[in-house]
Copies of this chain bind each other. A is one copy, B any other.
Amino acid sequence: MKNLNIGLVGYGFMGRTHANAFRSVSNFFDLPYRPILNTVCARNADRANAFAAQWGFNKAETDWRRLIENPEIDLIDIASPNDTHAEIAIAAAQAGKMVMCEKPLGRNATESEAMVKAVEAAGVPNMVWYNYRRVPAVTLAKHLIDEGRLGRIFHYRAKFLQDWTISTDLPQGGEGLWRLDVNVAGSGVTGDLLAHTIDTAMWLNGGIQEVSAVTETFIKSRKHTLTGQVEPVGIDDASLFLARFNNGSLATFEATRYARGHKALYTFEINGENASIFWDLHDLHRLQYFDHRDEGQVRGWRSLHITDRDHPYMSHWWVPGLQIGYEHTFIHQVADFLEGVGSGKASSPSFRDGLATDHVTDAVLESASSRKWITVKQ
């Protein structure tokens, strides 16, 4: 097992999930590489130092360029706000570093295309943190679909519902609130929550052909933390679209931060000729599965309790019946990434996969503004 030195950029919510994943993965998985928490980078030196101490990084930096220049560091992991992704990722790739990048890849497909070009030109391993693929229940859904159990697919429906921005008192921008600042985030829920639903959907059900979308900004202006002024809100608070997949199935997608009562209710359902699957992030350790080929009298939705040793990833954890949580998806993603680096077989979602999602979110935003059906760039 070789050491693999990590340079982490960002120390917020995502910085913590990534740091935890790199720090824990070797306790649970036997891998060709052991991640070493080499350096964490944040603009504010005090925060960077505190984060380094809390998580056991060897050192802290305030300029991400120093990480890229550091020959010790093998992998640059980007967990900073969206407006920094492209520049850092491209520089890291050009320096020959492996690159992992928090989602969405860029603020739009134009940025993402440049990032894809950079990592592919450099030939470096790369990955986007669409972590929900690694919920064991979601991975199992993928297996069941790939085995052909569902038959012809008729319908897909996904939603990602939150309610944390309903208050008019919430400011935009600044620490912890950059997701409300369109210049930093690129868009609102479209690039944030909706992007997650799209990544999973295309992984499970293939490419999306065309979309008809509507977006809304319910609170039109908010105080901006950085300027102290009340300013127009540039992000979308809600984003909904109809879609037709390449395989002919029809879909509804919805993301919002205005669904009172839901903190992070990401759900998807897929209906095939023979079987259907439903999953829900609020009970992420379960998968609902209906198989029409079951004997009639005892046919019903099965609540699969995804804690058994033959379920994806679960043999690495505890004993059957005992659930894991949210952060484990990041640990799984690191495990798969390192396996891929070891075997030379890239693991997904790659930057190219991340770009495909950005093509859809761009089409969604264009449809919402033009009020037309938009064909997605494939």
Contact = CB atoms under 8 A, between A and B. Distances in A.
B54 A263 contact: no
A291 B321 CA distance: 17
A263 B238 CA distance: 30
A66 interface: no
A208 B164 CA distance: 27
Interface string A337-378: 000000000000000000000000000000000011100000
A310 interface: yes
B301 A261 contact: yes
Interface residues of A, number: 92
A72 interface: no
A161 B250 CA distance: 13
A260 B292 contact: yes
A140 B144 CA distance: 30
B214 A214 contact: no
Contacts of A324: 325-327
A144 B300 CA distance: 15
Contact of A214 (B164, B250, B292): B250
Interface in A161-206: 161-164, 166
18 contacts: A154-B259, A164-B320, A240-B242, A240-B250, A259-B271, A261-B290, A263-B308, A263-B319, A264-B319, A265-B321, A283-B323, A285-B325, A289-B298, A291-B298, A294-B302, A301-B302, A317-B327, A318-B327
